[in-house]
Amino acid sequence: MPFSDYKTALVTGASSGIGAAVVERLCAEGLQVHALARSADALDALAKRTGCIPHAIDVTDLAGVTRLMGEVEFDILVNNAGVDRPGSILKSTAEDIDLILDVNLRAVLQLCRLALPGMVARDRGHIVNISSIAGAYNFGGNSTYHASKAAVHMLSRQLRIDAYGKRVRVTEICPGRVATDIFAHVHGDSAEIRERFIDGFELPQAADIANAIAFAIAAPIAVNVGLMEIMPTLQVPGGLSTTRPESPQS
């Protein structure tokens, strides 16, 4: 559907990285963009730069997001907010698991629950869910994060069934490594972390993900871009590990 047929958008996790880039891209298309994140200062700076409407609300604040969704009819919802805590399930805490599921999955479900009925009633709307290659491929550690993103993948497919017969589109954006500050948020902001994950690599930028989202939104109404997997050219997923037992079987 052309951008001109959409009027309003809500972007979560909008204060930095991919979220901020999506806000900038959608504002450039003339949409009224509502930017939601916890950091009021970062949102205010983004609003001054782009003209977006800032909302300093934690995405897990159900009362806050419910109030906002009741005040504005959103044509576009971009579920971008996400967190991670490194480590396998062997090293996870109960608090780590709850936080990841609250932000990465429960908030997405609640926002979709609040947004989809209006889109169905208006026969117009687009939900964009940011998942991760961690939802499709296994690699070491971050077990709860993998589980949360796999759930978002299945939810994205299911939403189209829930809206069957209506011009409501659902796009899942599945990024690999992107040059954003998420690694600093997870592992700590240090030169060692930047060297480990960012420096010297040829990586997609946040603006590249925003442009991919814009492409999906701008497609003709008869076209639903369901899944876009976006990785660095020099990154490949998957692998197979085999090890010998620590001790012989008795």
SS3 state of residue 82? coil
Q: Which residues constitute the domain of residue 42?
A: 3-230
In this prediction, the residues of the chain whose per-residue pLDDT falls under 50 are none
SS3 state of residue 96? helix
Number of neighbouring beta carbons within 10 Å of residue 140: 10
Provide the pLDDT for residue 186: 58
Provide the pLDDT for residue 250: 67
Domain presence at residue 235: no
Provide the pLDDT for residue 100: 97
Gap between the Cα atoms of 217 and 224, Å rounded: 9
Domain presence at residue 44: yes
Gap between the Cα atoms of 149 and 133, Å rounded: 8
In one-letter notation, the amino acid at residue 104 is N
Provide the pLDDT for residue 185: 55
**% of the chain exceeding 70 in pLDDT:** 94
Number of neighbouring beta carbons within 10 Å of residue 106: 17
Total of domains in the chain: 1
Provide the pLDDT for residue 182: 66
The residues that are catalytic are 145
Do 144 and 85 touch, CB atoms closer than 8 A?
yes
From 187, 204, 158, select the one nearest 21 (Cα to Cα): 204
Domain presence at residue 240: no
Domain presence at residue 236: no
Domain presence at residue 214: yes
Gap between the Cα atoms of 30 and 8, Å rounded: 9
Domain presence at residue 70: yes
Provide the pLDDT for residue 162: 98
Domain presence at residue 155: yes
Domain presence at residue 245: no
CATH number at residue 225: 3.40.50.720
Cβ-proximal residues to 194 (8 Å cutoff; 6+ apart), any chain: 183, 184
- Tell me the CA distances in angstroms from 135 to 132, 159, 204, one per residue in order: 6, 17, 19
